[in-house]
Amino acid sequence: MEYRRNESYFQWKRVERLADEHTHAELRERLDQLLEEDADLQGSFGVPSPDSVEVARIEDGDHAAVHDRLESLSRWRTVRHDIELLQRAVSRAADRQRDGGDLGASA
């Protein structure tokens, strides 16, 4: 029997933890910050996604410039990943808030 890591489980766990530890408003605020950073990175690279960045654009320049662009590209990929998780967490927190509000109203 071979063990395989179930990535979807770990993502679900992360979303649940975010929804547990933060309010809907806090999650929404962080999501808005990341969306703004994503837009800035799109403008900086001149393409709609990190996967659209051409290698030639990254490798052009001295070592420090290449390093900075690679670091920015890595950050962009992280931002995109975090946006996906936060969108799910915002939705989950909204569901919980709505369900909790319904319970309180019926008591």
Q: How confident is the model at residue 104 (pLDDT cuts 50, 70, 90)?
A: very low
User: Distance of CA 3 to CAs 7, 11, 13, 49, Å?
Assistant: 12, 18, 19, 33
pLDDT of 4-33, one tens digit each?
999 999 999 999 999 999 999 999 999 999
Whole-number pLDDT of residue 102: 44
pLDDT of 45-81, one tens digit each?
999 999 999 987 787 888 898 999 999 999 999 999 9
Domain boundaries, given as residue ranges, for the chain: 49-94
